[in-house]
Amino acid sequence: MGSLTEMGSLTEMGSVTEVMEENNIVDDCSWKPKVEMSFDSEQAVYDFYNMYGGKMGFSIRKAYANKNKHTKEITSRKYIACDFVEHHYHDLMPQDCIHMLSSQRKISTTQAIEVELASQSGIPLRSAYELFGRESGGRASLDFTKLDQKNYLRSKRQKDLEYGETGSVLHYFRKKTVENPSFFCAVQLDCDEQISNIFWADAQMIMDYAQFGDVVTFDTTYKLNNEHRPFGTFVGFNHHRETIIFGAALMYDETAESFTWLF
């Protein structure tokens, strides 16, 4: 995809050789940038130079890129590397602190799951970060900051919203089905292959219906959601006279055709 780039300054000051010797990384030079190097993708360039920065003790950043307004894909980026001088203008970070540099910080897959679980459980961001730090033996042992944690959750929410409301519902249903095969949902499509009616029942609803489904009532709210679509519930009572839900439906309208499909 082009030569090694301006993702970080390739010409800096201070002796890299001394750092290399100090960290015992003199023998293998395959990780060092070289003039006229080429890569298969923009990400490969970034990963390579970020690895180099991690070994030496500095952070990197990406230069400006032109992107497609609709797909957000990179259409062009300027790549120039005419020379490479192993000197740095700034002091290099000690090896035991490198993992906290901006481009070196990362949230692992396992940590991402924990971050999401903490958020879904209602644990405040600050408390969750304190917990992660204790689990790792102190905040200094974490590979991310509280801001990284906050940004991860924000980007995940934004990604979920990209599905749109209907897509998000279907994505949620697929996730619940994977978590518990007993989860049931049904979707009706109209002549244009667009979703019109949706019905679902989780494992607890199904078990409750098996035990207490002798008498069932059905009713719809009068279009209380943003899309002004009727929301219907199948309701009953358990042996403690408590209200329980056997199933729920989000309907396109209240026509005979919709109710026929639902029942």
pLDDT at site 190: 73
242 lies in the same domain as 194:
yes
167 or 263, which is more confident?
263
The three-state secondary structure class of 53 is: helix
What mean pLDDT comes out for the span 185-205?
Answer: 83
Range list of β-strands (E), the chain = 65-67, 74-77, 184-189, 195-201, 217-221, 231-237, 243-250
pLDDT at site 134: 84
Domain final residue, candidates 76, 98, 120: 98
* Interval 16-66: pLDDT, tens: 334 444 444 445 567 777 777 777 777 787 788 778 777 777 777 777 677
Read off the pLDDT band of 164 (50, 70, 90).
low
What global pTM score does this model have? 0.39
104 part of a folded domain: no
219 part of a folded domain: yes
pLDDT averaged over every residue in the chain: 75
Read off the pLDDT band of 262 (50, 70, 90).
very high
2 part of a folded domain: no
198-203 contacts at long range (C-beta below 8 A, 24 or more positions apart): 198/169, 198/249, 198/250, 198/251, 199/247, 199/248, 199/249, 199/262, 200/173, 200/247, 200/248, 200/249, 201/246, 201/247, 201/248, 202/176
120 lies in the same domain as 207:
no
* Owning domain of residue 77: 16-98
What mean pLDDT comes out for the span 79-100?
Answer: 65
168 lies in the same domain as 226:
yes
Q: How far is CA 163 from CA 160, 171, 229, in A?
A: 6, 8, 19
129 lies in the same domain as 146:
yes
21 lies in the same domain as 94:
yes
145 lies in the same domain as 193:
no
- The answer to whether residue 121 scores a pLDDT higher than 70 is yes
* Interval 125-160: pLDDT, tens: 888 888 888 887 776 677 788 888 888 888 777 666
7 part of a folded domain: no
221 part of a folded domain: yes
Read off the pLDDT band of 214 (50, 70, 90).
very high
Domain final residue, candidates 98, 121, 139: 98
Read off the pLDDT band of 13 (50, 70, 90).
very low
212 part of a folded domain: yes
Amino acid symbol at 79 = Y
pLDDT at site 78: 64
pLDDT at site 228: 66
- The answer to whether residue 172 scores a pLDDT higher than 60 is yes
90 lies in the same domain as 40:
yes
pLDDT at site 260: 92
74 part of a folded domain: yes
